[in-house]
Amino acid sequence: MEDAAFPHLGESLQPPPRACPLRCFCPRADTVDCNGLDLQVFPDNITRAAQHLSLQNNQLQELPYNELSRLSSLRTLNLHNNLISSEGLPDEAFESLTQLQHIYVAHNKVSLPACPGAAGVPQQSAQGTAGGCRAGHQRGCAPTALGGPPVSAPLPPSCRPGCQPSDRDLPAYLRGEARAQNNLISKVPRGALSRQTHLRELYLQHNQLTDSGLDATTFSKLQHLEYLDLSHNQLASVPAGLPRTLAVLHLGRNRIRWVEAARLRGARGLRYLLLQHNQLGATGLPAGALRPLRRLHTLHLYGNRLERVPPALPRRLRALVLPHNHMTALGARDLAGMPGLAELNLAYNRLVSARVHRRAFRPLRALRSLDLAGNQLTRVPGGLPGSLHTLRLQRNQLRTLEPELLAGLDQLRELSLAHNRLRIGDIGPGTWHELQALQVLDLSHNELSFVPPDLPEALEELHLQGNRISHVGAEAFLSTPRLRALFLRANRLHMTSIEPEAFLGLLHLSVVDTAGNPEQVLVRLPPAAPRQPRVGGP
């Protein structure tokens, strides 16, 4: 009975709930951070006002429905890196979280949809009928975690037709991102994502998705989806029904052998398509397969089995990434259809100089970066566009440098010629005069016996490590007054190999690396240099 003088008598004398769960950190009234506490149970006394709840890096195996359902203000829920399985996600676990925008369930053990039975009927084992079904409920068998982590067996007869998989456990309008990577998901049931029309980013990489686990409606209702990551799965083809809003599609490290144009027609807004480390061969990208993607900016195809540059690529393409394929030749017209290409990577293929046409690169008047490293080239290709800023030719078999082949590269700032077979006599007179803007030159791991003369005046960084240099003369760097860093490691230098006057006038020089030579080399920088002398040792 309540006493008028003491109105609190008769009420519970339990202490008020803690402002922050034990051991957790609450920097703001709406933020609860329980990251990395080895929690095995869901923390209690989380404020109803919480908008951001971090439970990543714990050992949670399940989420209690009563605790989770009252947190109706949550906008971000991070369950990353726990031990949560589908059985640990209660029916309708997220239904009350109507404000949720970001959910992270990556690195858990989610694999099957939660299909609890009727009241008083225990949920059936996943090894049995792939889950029970709520009696008489027309929307039972609700999948969990992005509509569910899949079933591998068909639904039991008692579930048809009123037990169709849906996304009822997820908030109706998840507006931000959903992360379910690094789980055991092999199927997204039909309709599982149908209400997520405001979802912008979906991460399903590192699962066990196959073609049969997706259908043409899986992603078609995601009218605001911009980023979809399906990499590291077991897909053999590009999914159908991709939304037109999609800007980034990540399909790397699947088993895709062939790209069908019809699968991409709906995704006309795609700007980044990543198909690296698949099984695309000579016929894997037929002519026009990517033609519907008129806005495509970047195409990643490295680590496939392509023998030539795929024909009829989108004209507006800006970056084409093709290393680690089987290409042996470049024809005069192979790159002609992409006049706006700014980055081209053909590294670690099987290109030989005799099969690279002298006009292969000429149409690329906007090209800024060209990577030809790791091929079998014996000379610099001809016809390089004057727009180049970066040229990588390391790990080839270059035996000569001719000024004619570098003519016109007056915007080149970085040139890598490392790991070739160049000797001083192989560098033609006037070669460096063509490269007036060059700032970084890598000649490491060649067969040079001394510092090449007449280097470009703009040079700031010079790599000569791993050569046969035994002497550095007083005039070695007269042409490079802006030099800042010099690498002479692992040559044949001795204590007296470097003339005292070699670095005079190099007012910006601050790094000289002479380690790994037969003897310790003492380097004295000019008095005006910003750093103290540096000693290199073996």
Residue 44's pLDDT is 86
Percent of the chain exceeding pLDDT 90 equals 71
Average pLDDT over residues 155-175: 42
Phi-psi region of 288 (alpha: psi -120 to 50; beta: other; left: phi over 0): left
Instruction: Give the residues across from 88 on adjacent strands.
Output: none
pLDDT value at residue 97: 87
C-beta atoms surrounding 414 within 10 Å: 17
pLDDT computed for residue 383 by the predictor: 95
Please give the pLDDT value at position 101.
Answer: 87
Tell me what the mean pLDDT of segment 4-27 comes to.
64
- Mean pLDDT (the chain) is 85
What are the residues whose beta carbons fall under 8 Å from the beta carbon of 51, sequence distance 6 or more?
Answer: 30, 31, 73, 74, 75, 76, 99
Residue 297: count of CB within 10 angstroms of its CB: 18
- Grouping H, G, I as helix, E, B as strand and the rest as coil, residue 353 is helix
Say which CATH class 448-538 falls into: alpha beta
pTM above 0.85, yes or no: no
**Lowest-confidence range among 46-60, 69-83, 144-158?**
144-158
Instruction: Round to whole Å and give the CA distance between 353 and 355.
Output: 5
SS3 66: helix
* pLDDT at 320 > cutoff 80: yes
Q: Structural domain boundaries of the chain? A: 23-115+138-152+162-234, 448-538
Q: Does the pLDDT value for residue 169 go beyond 60?
A: no
The larger pLDDT score, comparing residue 353 to residue 136, is at 353
Task: Quote the CA–CA distance of 513 and 534 in Å, as a whole number.
Answer: 8
23-115+138-152+162-234: in CATH 3.40.920.10:
no
Q: Are 466 and 490 in contact (CB under 8 A)?
A: yes
pLDDT digits (tens, 9 = 90+) for 450-489: 999 999 999 999 999 999 999 999 999 999 999 999 999 9
- The pLDDT score that the predictor gives to residue 92 is 73
pLDDT of residue 119: 26
CA distance 288 to 322: 18
Q: Is-contact 108 87, C-beta < 8 A?
A: no
Lowest-pLDDT choice from 96-110, 351-365, 520-534: 520-534
Q: Do domains 23-115+138-152+162-234 and 448-538 have the same CATH topology?
A: yes
pLDDT of residue 88: 86
pLDDT in tens, 82-122: 999 888 887 677 788 888 888 899 999 987 543 333 222 22
Q: Does residue 377 have a pLDDT over 70?
A: yes
